Amino acid sequence: MSETKLPLQDLRVLELGTLLAGPFTGRLLGDFGAEVIKVEPPGKSDPMRDWGKSKDGVGLWWPIQSRNKKSITLNLREEEGQAILRDLVKEADILIENFRPGTMEKWNLSYEILSEINPKLIMVRTSGFGQTGPYKSRAGFGSVGEAMGGLRNVTGFEDRPPSRIGVSIGDTLAALFATIGCLVAIHEREQSGRGQVVDTALYESVFSVMESIIPDYLLAGYIRERMGNILPGVAPSNIYFTKDKTYIVIGANADGVFRRLCEAMEQPELANDPRFSTHHARGENMKLLDSMIEEWTKTLPAKEALAILEEKGVPSGLIYTAKDIVEDPHYQAREMILHVEHPQLGDFPMPGIVPKLSRTPGEVKHAGPEAMGKHNEEIYQNLLGYDQEKIKELAEKKII
C-alpha cells in the first residue's frame, strides 16, 4: 500500500444514498482518498449488497461499489437519528444523497438546516429529474433517465424496439457529473469559504452526452434514430465479420486513416475513388463501403486482420468479453484489474482506478465493508465522542 498522500484525504463524506448513482459518486471520491462514511438504516441494508452474481453468499458488486468506505447504521426516520446526522454534518465536508426530492426535507435535514450547522457543507443531490421543475417529485431510475434523456431512442437497430445498453449507464453518468460538480464546489469553497448544493438529475446527465441531437432537429429537421453499429454519416466505423466467425471493430472515418485502411486491404485505389475519397462521400456510400471492408475481413482470422491494421495504424480491436479483459496484457500493465483482500472470499479482483494521476494516484485500501455498522464504534465514539453507554442505548432503541 502506497504511503503517498492521496489528493482527497482531507475530505470527509457522508453517503446516505442507496444502489447506484449516489454510492458510485462516493466510490469515486473514496478512490482518491476521501473518508467516505456509508450510512444504512439499521436492519435494512443497501439493496446493492445483494445485487449481481454471488459467491459463497457474498454479492460480487457490493465490494466494488463500496470499496474504501466505512459503514455505520443510523435511522434517519426517527428524530434522534436525525439529530445524530446533524452531529455528523458538523464534522463533514460533503453529504451525498439520492433520495426522491423532498425526503431530506421531510426528515428535517434540508440544506437550509444543515448549512446553518456547517456553512461549508457541500450537499450532492442526485435524483431522477432534479430538485426543481414539474417532474421533481417523480420517482426516477437510471432506465427512465436513459429513456427521457434521449439515449434509448438511438440505441439498438432500426427494425427493433429501443434497447438497453448492457450496464447502468444512466446512473453512472449521473454519478460522474455529480462528482464533477462536487469537486467544482470544493474548489469554489476555497475562495468563498461556503458550501452549496450540487443538483444532478439522471435525465440531464444522459441528455448532456447526446451530442448534436437538438440542433440536428431544430436547425436541420433531422431526428436521430437507431442505426445499430454505425454512426450517421460517418464511415467506415462498424463491426466486421472475420474468417474465424468473430467480429472486430474498425474506425477509419478520417481521410488519412481511411487511406491507411485501403493500404491494409491492399486496395489503395479506393482512397481516390470519388465514392469514398471524402468524409461526406463515404457517409453517403456507407453500406457499399462496409460490405467491401467485410469482404476483406472475412478472408482473415481476427488476430491476423488486427495485426495488419495495427501495423498500418488503423484503429481496430476485438469486442472483448470479461475473459478477454482479464487475459489482456495491456489491462494488466495499466493496473486496471486490482486484487484486494476480501475477508470471506480472499483475493478479490475488481476494476482499477480511473483516471491515472502521475504524482498522487488513487488507491483501493479495502473492499466494501461486509458487515453493516462495522465502523459504528469508530465513528460514534472516536469522531463524535459518544460514550459506550450512549452507543449501547442507541443500538437498543434501533437508532443505530
Sequence letter at residue 248: I
End-to-end Cα separation, the chain, in angstroms: 32
Number of CB atoms found within 10 A of residue 315's CB: 16
DSSP string over 211-276: TTHHHHHHHH-------TT-BTTB-SEEEEE-TTS-EEEEE--SHHHHHHHHHHTT-GGGGG-TTT
Number of CB atoms found within 10 A of residue 186's CB: 19
Distance CA 50, CA 140 (A): 21
Residue the block writes with cell 486496395: 267
Using the 8-state DSSP alphabet, how is residue 353 labeled?
-
Distance CA 330, CA 375 (A): 37
Sheet order of strands, 197-201 included:
69-73, 35-40, 12-15, 94-97, 122-127, 197-201
Do residues 92 and 371 make contact, with C-beta atoms less than 8 angstroms apart?
no
Number of CB atoms found within 10 A of residue 388's CB: 10
Answer yes or no: 171 catalytic: yes
Options 46, 171, 199, 290, the catalytic residue:
171
Distance CA 82, CA 108 (A): 7
The residues that are catalytic are: 171
